[in-house]
């Protein structure tokens, strides 16, 4: 996603090609943000929008997606400086498989993917990028997470038990729920630390946004 900024450039015309022949269809791609000396393009926003539509059946506003891309720039920049390793093919395969299995059937996944406008290579590229960023945040913040027994018990009483009863089910025991609860609390703590760090990092950056929200 990172690109060097071409100063003074406000738009880039991209002509779609089929094979070695240009078509008559032209798509205007333009810079929607400058982060330090790098740029984010409208096509970056649209691609993440399509991925959200694939995964969730809907997407955030383009403005909210641009903010996510700025956060991703921050994470990737620091990860690259620290020479954090890219995910292996097997890890990416597993994440793509998990995504497909989150749908009721493979056919439903294929239909949603077609509707979103993404192809297999684009999905894999986005999954790999998300995995890289998540792995880095996990490695950076997990070591400082501490979850005590009271936090686990409170979560069990305030979340697990009421949820089970609301569905007319017998709540699982605390011991049976412990590992799942601890994982959820650890991830919540990682998210909170990451959000604070991103907020502090954004305040130190030179960021300019040029996005005009388009029609939904």
| CA distances for 190 relative to 21, 174, 195, 213, angstroms | 49, 23, 9, 31
Q: How confident is the model at residue 27 (pLDDT cuts 50, 70, 90)?
A: low
Is the predicted pLDDT of residue 17 greater than 50, yes or no? no
Please, what is the average pLDDT of the chain?
A: 88
pLDDT at 212: 76
Helix (H, G, I), strand (E, B) or coil at 17: strand
Q: Residue 13 domain-assigned?
A: no
Q: Does some domain include residue 81? A: yes
Which range among 2-16, 42-56, 93-107, 119-133 shows the weakest confidence by mean pLDDT?
A: 2-16
Q: Which residue has the higher pLDDT, 17 or 190?
A: 190
- Is residue 7 a part of any domain in this protein? no
pLDDT greater than 70 at residue 216: no
* Number of structural domains in the chain: 1
In a domain, 8, yes or no: no
How far apart are alpha carbons 47 and 69 in whole angstroms?
A: 11
Task: Tell whether 94 is covered by a domain.
Answer: yes
Residues of the domain holding 109? 42-159+180-207
Domain-embedded: residue 69:
yes
Q: What is the domain-level CATH number for residue 119?
A: 1.10.4030
pLDDT of 172 strictly over 70: yes
Distance CA 115, CA 107 (A): 12
pLDDT for 21: 36
pTM over cut 0.75: yes
Question: Minimum mean pLDDT among 21-25, 115-119, 121-125, 171-175: which range?
Answer: 21-25
Q: Establish if 171 belongs to a structural domain.
A: no
Distance (Å, whole) CA 108 – CA 117: 14
CA distances from 173 to 138, 156, 160 (A): 28, 9, 10
In a domain, 58, yes or no: yes
């Amino acid at each position: 996603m990172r690109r060097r900024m071409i100063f003074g450039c406000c738009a880039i015309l991209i002509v779609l090609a089929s094979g070695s022949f240009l078509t008559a269809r032209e798509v205007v791609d333009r810079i929607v943000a400058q982060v330090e000396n790098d740029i984010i393009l409208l096509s970056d926003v649209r691609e993440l929008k399509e991925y959200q539509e694939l995964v969730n059946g809907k997407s955030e506003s383009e403005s909210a997606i641009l903010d996510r891309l700025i956060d991703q720039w921050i994470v990737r920049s620091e990860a690259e400086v620290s020479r954090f390793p890219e995910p292996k093919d097997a890890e990416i395969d597993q994440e793509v498989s998990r995504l497909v299995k989150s749908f009721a059937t493979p056919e439903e996944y294929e239909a949603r993917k077609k509707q979103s406008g993404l192809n297999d290579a684009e999905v894999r590229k986005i999954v790999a990028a998300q995995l890289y960023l998540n792995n880095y945040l996990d490695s950076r913040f997990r070591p400082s997470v501490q979850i005590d027994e009271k936090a686990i018990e409170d979560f069990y009483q305030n979340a697990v038990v009421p949820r089970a009863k609301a569905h007319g089910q017998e709540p699982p025991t605390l011991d049976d729920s412990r590992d799942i609860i601890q994982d959820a609390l650890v991830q919540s703590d990682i998210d909170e630390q990451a959000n604070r760090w991103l907020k502090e990092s954004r305040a130190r950056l030179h960021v300019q946004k040029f996005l005009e929200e388009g029609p939904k």
